[in-house]
Amino acid sequence: MLRVFDGKTPELGANAWVDPAALVIGDVVLGAEASVWPMTVIRGDVNYIRIGARTNIQDGTIVHVAHAGGMNPEGYPTIVGEDVTIGHNAVIHACTIGDRCLVGMSATVMDGSVLDDEVIVGAGSMVPPGKHLRAGHLYIGNPAREKRPLSDDEKAFLRYSAGHYVELAARHRR
């Protein structure tokens, strides 16, 4: 379901798909062939959200932003790159995620954090506010810590996962 907030309507790129049991509110732009799965909430009410092409936001995920205020004069939008997989029940809050990343199931990425391209955040991990995760690495734990460089197979999987969800969303859309 798409919902207007303060006169801002979510925008969907070509062939983007939002499951009828998901909720997308306000200043949100989904790139071409992006997908939003059941019970996900993407709430662009007090700042904006941009989600790149072929990115999938899986079941039960919460995507939100941080408002501008005394402690944070500009707030934080949420920006998610292209070909990203966000696993079930993740919390993506006021952060920036690069291209070809994977945020594992039930992981949390907090305010002002930045994930470079080709980063995997392991299931259940918590990326604390303001943390910078370097490209090409696996991060795990609470707080998330760099574990090791990604293998070539893991990097290839990041593209594969995004492509798989593009195909699956097309089947659901039909």
Residue 2: in which H helix or E strand, if any?
strand 2-3
The DSSP line for 79-117 is EE-SS-EE-TT-EEES-EE-SS-EE-TT-EE-TT-EE-S
Token pair of 147, please? Answer: 């574990």
The answer to whether residue 154 scores a pLDDT higher than 90 is: yes
Per-residue pLDDT of 115-139, as tens digits, reads 999 999 999 999 999 999 999 999 9
Per-residue pLDDT of 64-121, as tens digits, reads 999 998 888 899 999 999 999 999 999 999 999 999 999 999 999 999 999 999 999 9
b/e per residue, 112-128, with b = 16+ CB within 10 A?
bbbbbbbbbbbbbbbbe
pTM equals: 0.97
Confidence of residue 167 (pLDDT cuts 50, 70, 90): very high
The answer to whether residue 166 scores a pLDDT higher than 90 is: yes
For residue 143, cis peptide bond before it (omega within 30 degrees of 0) = yes
Query: Which domains, from first to last, does the chain contain?
Result: 2-173 (2.160.10.10)
Query: For residue 152, how many C-alpha atoms fall within 13 Å in the half-sphere facing its CB?
Result: 0
Q: What is the pLDDT of residue 155?
A: 98
